[in-house]
Amino acid sequence: MSDPAPLVAIPQAPVPAGGAAEWFAGAGGARLRAALFAHPGEARGSVVVSPGRTEPIEKYFEVVEILRARGFTVLVHDWRGQGLSQRLLPDRLLGHAAGAKDFLTDFARLIAAFEARLPKPWTALGHSMGGCLTLLAMAKGETRFSGAILSAPMLGLQTGAIPMPVGRLMAAMSRLVGRGGAPAQRAAAEATPFEANILTHDPARYARNEAQVAACPDLALGSPTWGWLDFAFSATSVLQRGAGVTRIAAPVTIVAAGEERLVDNAASKRVAARVPNARFVEIAGAYHEILQETDAIQALFWREFDDLAERVRKAA
């Protein structure tokens, strides 16, 4: 019997009908949260949604509704260290990681816990960090997904004024000298106003996401640690240079944001070229959080999703 877990509802984002959350055990016994939203009729298949860094399940309620309207059962999860899943440091606001291994074990255990309740075929949908880890799982031998669509995936990082090799060395050295759990950047003193945000052009969705965290402060996550940055540099390096992605057989669509400020679109394009059956699309005018963007921008993403879903259907 599953162990019930909470889902946070606010007026702008009620829990989708029929959805329920539960806990499952990840690597090392970590208590992790996932939510299943079963399609009420005969499902076309299932979509496993893997959010980005900082993002809880609740942020994807609208995405769940869109996918269920298309006929899918939907599974969404909180990665370790964020949402209501087990945090990794005494300061729960620090976004930490200790390599990719535990994330990948967590993902495998998520699938094992829900496999019997996920109608096939399966499609993976990952955003940012979730896109990176989804592709990494597939590169390391996860073959049960019939297709994957990645929204602004973290396949490379923008490092601003610090050259990427220097940033990578700083992260690795910080971890080696025992400072992996220290924040890699100073936390902002105040919340970012909508006008200064680099995530979405949609004020209503931005306000909704802020209201979710205000309703449940335990959903909040702040600055990344040096350990998280070291994980991110290492994971993206595997995807950029490792042989695993060249053996992915399923179709993969990578959707990049034209006004991206966080991840490296050029790296995403290079990785896409290494995946045998990949398509790279850049949406002009989009900020990083494509699935939190305006209706017009989202429509371009969902057009790509529908194209992938049709290819998956024909191949089934």
Each residue's pLDDT tens digit, 136-167: 999 999 999 999 999 999 999 999 999 999 99
Q: Which of 262, 268, 299, 272 minimizes the C-alpha distance to 159? A: 262
The angle formed by the CA atoms of residues 204, 209 and 212, to the nearest 5 degrees, is: 125
Residues of the chain with pLDDT under 70: 1-2, 188-189
Structural domain for 151, as ranges: 3-315
How many domains are contained in the chain?
1
pTM attached to this predicted model: 0.97
Residue 151's CATH number: 3.40.50.1820
The count of other CB atoms within 10 Å of the CB of residue 300 is 17
The pLDDT of residue 1? 43
How confident is the model at residue 189, as a pLDDT?
A: 59
Distances (CA, A) of 27 to 100, 101, 110: 11, 9, 10
Q: What are the DSSP E strand ranges found in 128-262?
A: 145-151, 252-257
Task: Give the relative orientation of helices 164-176 and 226-241 as an angle to the nearest 10 degrees.
Answer: 130
